[in-house]
Structures are given as C-alpha cells and as structure tokens.
Structure 1
Amino acid sequence: MAAVPVIDLGQTEDAAAAEVRAACTSSGFFYVRNHGVPAPLVEEAFAQQRALFGLPLEAKMAMLQDANNRGYTPFREETLDPARQAHGDTKEGFYFGREVPLDSPEASKPLHGPNQWPDPQLLPDYRRVTQQYFDAMTALGMRLLRLLALSLELPPDYFAPMFDAPMLALRPLHYSGEVSDPGAGVFGAGAHSDYGMLTILATDEVPGLQIWLPDGGPEAAADAGAARGEEGVGGRWWDVPPQPGAFVINLGDMLERWTNGRYRSTLHRVINTTGRERYSVAFFFEPNFDCPVEVLPCCTGGVHGPPRYPPTTAGRHLLDKYAATHAGYSAPPAATTV
C-alpha cells in the first residue's frame, strides 16, 4: 500500500484541492507532479548543492549558522530525536533564507537578514542558480497555499496576506554514507515533525525517507483524526521512495495548530540502508514573522471540538523549535519577537 498519494497540479484547482484535503487528513504527505518547475533547473540546483558540500571543511565552517539561521550546520550538529539518538544526525546542511539587507527595517527581526553565500571564486554560479530555484519554490508554495485554502473551504487567497513578507528557508542537505542503526540510536535524521506551514522536498535517487503511520496506513490515520501517532505505539514506518520529476510535500506543526489537528504534521525520519551518500533540498514555506497562529474558525466547534492549541505567532513558534534541536543556537527572548 502506498502511504503517500501523487497529486497532479495540472488538473483543476477544485479537483486538486479535494485530493489535498484527503492527503492532509490522512498521511500528511503527498507528491506533486506537473508542478511547473523546470527539470533542468532542479538538476542544475542539485549539481550546485553537491559542489557546495564538496568545498573544504574550513570554507564551510567560515559560513557557520548565525543568529538569523543562515549558514552551515556540520555533521551531527542537529539532533532531531534526542530521546532515541546516540549522537546527532549523520548529515550536514545549509540554511538560505529570503535575502534581507542589513539596512532594511526587516533586519531588526529575528530570522531575517542577509544570507551567507559561498565565495564566488570557488562557486561562481552557485548564488544565481540557487536563487532561481528559491524563487521557483516560492511560486510553487503560493500555488499550494491556494489549494490548502480551497481544501478547507476558504477563499483561495485566504492565506496570501499572511505571506507578503514570508519566512522562507532553503535547506540543502548532504547525508553521509554511514549506515543507520536505529537500535543503536544512529539515524540520518532522527524522527521529528516539521516546524512550520509547508515543506517542499526534492530528493536524489537514494531512498531513506520514512513516515510513521498507524498499522492500517493512511486510512487508519484519517480515522484517528487529530490523534498524532507516536513511534512504537500501534503503527510502523512506511517508506516514501523517490519519485522522479515529483516533489514531496508535507505539513508542519504550524498548520496542524491552525487546523486544530484536522490536518496532520506527521512524524518522519531518514535512515540509510544502502551505505550511499544522499542529497536532498528542503524548502520551508512559512508565514510572516508576526503572523498570528490560532485555530481557524472553520476547524472549531461541532465535530472539530474546541481549540486544542493556544494562540502564538509564526516567529515565536519557529524560534523555539530551532532552539530545541540545533546545538549552540538559542532563540532571542520572547519580548523581542512579538
């Protein structure tokens, strides 16, 4: 049984939105095809990321993750499942965000600022290609927002005002060839749910991504409603294999809060069973920093029950999540972020 459906974005918005609704209330993951992002751009972006990770360690460490969550994260620096991991994830990564000049009023906000780009003498095409890919992911994210709104029977542009100055993060990842050993606490990426609104993931041909679902799979997850599955309790890990030409889309904790648990932010992990290196590029699509995040009226009352989550803001939510998983990263105090 396939855990993750494939949604064709070439069909009508109403038809695609119905399929999005079914995926969001079951596995919380889906693939998209006919998404409008040119295949040559994806291929070129991956070539640039491989070149980036191929730089000498000292060149990467010169771009170490800063207070605004831009820059390099070394192997084992991130621990996504501290309760089960013997050490950090067997991956390295970079964060690139929406470019915000230092002299911009936005630069005073946490998670806003200029990127740390590699030396153009070392990688002359990196910034150009990566920015093109970043822009393509932003456009795809806006298309998906419309489908999410329609799937909730909201106006198609309902979320658009919350994304006029969005928090966007492109995260290239390089997994080492170290074979995972879950029993010994060794993972490519420990089990976690994503933090924000939407993740758009591109992967190479190497498998590794898995999601945790009840024993009956996506249908059982839909029947469980808002009850989030916990690893080791009445479920198992389901593979999400690479699909050439498709992106993997998954929902984050912020969207689960907004929908009162109606839409699922699903536990997932990466394990290495092949001994091969693996590359992926994740794009995290989040609302404006000051955007209020509170349960939508359409997701409360009646069968949905009262709100299960207290109000917060998008920025505060993300800052707290980053501080919990990145070694040495601390979120600014709440008084500076709201």
Structure 2
Amino acid sequence: MVATLEPQLMEIPAVDLHGIEPRSQGWEEAKASVTASMVAHGFVVVRHGGALGPDLRRALFGHAMPELFALPVEAKQRTVSRWGPFKSYLGNAPGLVRESLRVEDAADAARVVNSPTSCGRCRNMVELQRTVLRMTLEGLGVREDHIQLILGSHTHAVRLSRYGVPEDTATGMSVRAHHDGGMLTVVVQHEVEGLEVQAGGDGRWLAAPTEPDTFTCLAGKLLTVVTNGRVPACFHRVRTPSNRERYSVLFLCRPRDGAVVSAMDELVDAEHPLVYNPCNLDDYGEFRKSEEGRKSSDPLRAFCGVETAAQGEYREYGHYLFYQ
C-alpha cells in the first residue's frame, strides 16, 4: 500500500554501532534496537564512522565511480557473469534510468574502482553487515551455533550504481517499489537523496539519510524465510526529487548458489507456525523464469509458502535444514 508519494523525515533513530563488538559494553542495547527495527520494518539505519569514512566516500563518489561509469559501454560490458546481467553489468533500460556493475568480492570491487584502500573498507562493510545479521538473529533467540552456520554460508557482493536524471522529473522516481531477494543489503548514499523505505504497514515512506556515517540495512526475502516471517522484507524504492545525478553502493549478502534455505528451528513454534517450506535456490531461480513465476505477485510464497506446498514435501524436509 502506498499512502503518499512525499516521504517523511527518517523517524527511526540510527543505531550507533561504532566500536560495538559481541559481549562488549553497549552490545545488548544496540542489539535490542537493531532487532526491534528489523522486526517492525525490515530495515535499520546504523551509524559507523569507521566502516567507510567521509574521505573515502568523497573519493569513491566524487572521483572513482564517475570515472568508472564514464568508460565506454563496451568496456563496462566486459564484466560478465554466467548468471546474466543481474550479476554483472546492467545498462539503462526503459523505466530504469540506471546503470550498475556488480562484482562478487571486496578485492574485485577495489580493482574495479582502482582504489586499493577500498579493499579493506569493503571488508569492513562485510563485517558491519554480519554484525547487523548477528544482532537480529541473536535478538530473536537463534542459537550461537546456528548463527555461525548462517554467517559462514553466505556470499558477499558489491553493486556500484549510477542514476541519471529521472525520466519522470515530476515525481523524481528512478526505481519503483520492490523487495530485494537476498538476505541483507547495506546501502551507502552520499549527499544526494534517493533511497526511500516503507515503514510498518501503514504505507508511510521515509527518506533514508545521506549523512557520511550512516548506512541503511534492508532485509531481503530470504531473511524472511530464515526468520520464519519475523523479519519482513523491506519494501523500498529510489526517488530523487532534486532530479540530480546520483551514485550509490550496495553491499549484498545471500546464500551460496545451490543452497537450501529454511527457517531456524528456534523460530518455529505453536505461536509461530512454519511460514515457508525449505527453499532450494536453484529450483527457485528456475521457477522465477517460468510463466507462473513471472505472473506471481509474490513468487517466493507461490514457490515454497506452506499454504501452497505439498505436505509430503514438508514432511521430507522439515524445518531443520538451514544451508547445504
């Protein structure tokens, strides 16, 4: 539901994670705030001055990324993936005034933007992402060994994006509202607004902050599966009312290809019955390409939602498999 186009100022305060480590002073308070925001809205805004400092942000957004996207299209198209453009270079398309380039690890991202310093910072961002996931799962009551299993079973990628002036300058809309399909996306903005998130269930749109020490963490559909529906996938869009060119960096996290994703055993009980049956990511990818998958407004629920899946399949897998 979309109640209004105009976003409000960010109403949920940012959680300061700088210097916060497990079992350190401030961990429990920060964990409670992160978990509460993720459960209520599917996103949390965090502050961490050391993860990607202001000097590096200026170098990245002011020089490296503009130079990267100024390269000829033929050069950018050399970034390819056997999985297609969504895991490599995406050029402008009707209704999508954006080009972006995805690389699969921090070292590759550093080479793409020709900045060795960014390699270590990308690793810092992965650690920040892992911290938010750990806090969320720990706050929900997931056991430590299961948290370790999840954190050790992910792949991490970086997507660098350039947004031109929106085609619809009246609304400033660049990307329509959608959910991400992975586990957790950390969005880095710089000076120019764009990311808007929907809070709760009343249709309010909030403009994510662009301050140099803030990061917006968005839950994807697979995190909803893992948390048995406790954490909703964040509904978000890109809208730039100032109609300026905009750059952003997305740090992406998802299970490895071929994984089977299932709800944590601790999060399935009488009060919280199973929402999704185990999801084989390869099979789900094929379903998304099918006619049924393309027509579905919620392909994940259509594919493995408990109310749509055969009971025999549920008895075979149960809810004890996490990742394979």
Q: d(CA) in 2 for partners of 1:293 and 1:301?
A: 18
Q: Secondary structure at the match of 1:284?
A: strand
Q: Could you say what the CA RMSD is over the residues aligned between the two structures, in angstroms?
A: 3.2
What is the aligned residue count?
276
- The correspondence for 1:95, drawn from 94, 97, 102, is 102
In structure 2, the CA distance between the partners of 1:132 and 1:50, relative to structure 1 (3 Å rule), is farther
Q: d(CA) in 2 for partners of 1:38 and 1:115?
A: 14
Residues 139-148 or 245-254, more deviating: 139-148
Residues 234-243 or 251-260, more deviating: 234-243
For residue 43 of structure 1, what is the aligned residue in structure 2? 58
For residue 5 of structure 1, what is the aligned residue in structure 2? 13
TM-score under structure 2 normalisation? 0.73
Amino acid at match of 2:15: I
In structure 2, the CA distance between the partners of 1:61 and 1:269, relative to structure 1 (3 Å rule), is same
For residue 274 of structure 2, what is the aligned residue in structure 1? 307
Q: Secondary structure at the match of 1:142?
A: helix
For residue 210 of structure 1, what is the aligned residue in structure 2? 196
Does structure 1 residue 72 correspond to structure 2 residue 89? Answer: yes
In structure 2, the CA distance between the partners of 1:273 and 1:320, relative to structure 1 (3 Å rule), is farther
CA contact (8 A) 2:156 2:251 kept: yes
Q: 1:164-175 residue pairs with structure 2 within 5 A?
A: 164=152, 166-175=154-163
Q: Secondary structure at the match of 2:135?
A: helix
Percent identity over paired residues: 26
For residue 248 of structure 1, what is the aligned residue in structure 2? 216
For residue 305 of structure 2, what is the aligned residue in structure 1? none
For residue 191 of structure 1, what is the aligned residue in structure 2? 177
TM-score under structure 1 normalisation? 0.71
Q: d(CA) in 2 for partners of 1:24 and 1:252?
A: 11
Q: d(CA) in 2 for partners of 1:286 and 1:278?
A: 25
- The correspondence for 2:264, drawn from 296, 314, 325, is 296
Q: Secondary structure at the match of 1:51?
A: helix
Q: Secondary structure at the match of 2:40?
A: coil
For residue 146 of structure 1, what is the aligned residue in structure 2? 134
Q: d(CA) in 2 for partners of 1:116 and 1:166?
A: 20
> Shift in Å at residue 202 of structure 1?
0.4
Q: Secondary structure at the match of 2:103?
A: strand
In structure 2, the CA distance between the partners of 1:211 and 1:99, relative to structure 1 (3 Å rule), is closer
Residues 23-32 or 129-138, more deviating: 129-138
Amino acid at match of 1:90: V
Q: d(CA) in 1 for partners of 2:59 and 2:37?
A: 30
For residue 73 of structure 2, what is the aligned residue in structure 1? 57
In structure 2, the CA distance between the partners of 1:198 and 1:280, relative to structure 1 (3 Å rule), is same
> Shift in Å at residue 318 of structure 1?
6.3
Q: Secondary structure at the match of 1:158?
A: helix
CA contact (8 A) 1:64 1:73 kept: no
> Shift in Å at residue 66 of structure 1?
4.3
* Unaligned ranges ≥5, structure 1: 77-86, 101-113, 214-220, 222-228, 326-337
Q: d(CA) in 2 for partners of 1:315 and 1:160?
A: 23
* Unaligned ranges ≥5, structure 2: 1-8, 21-25, 295-323
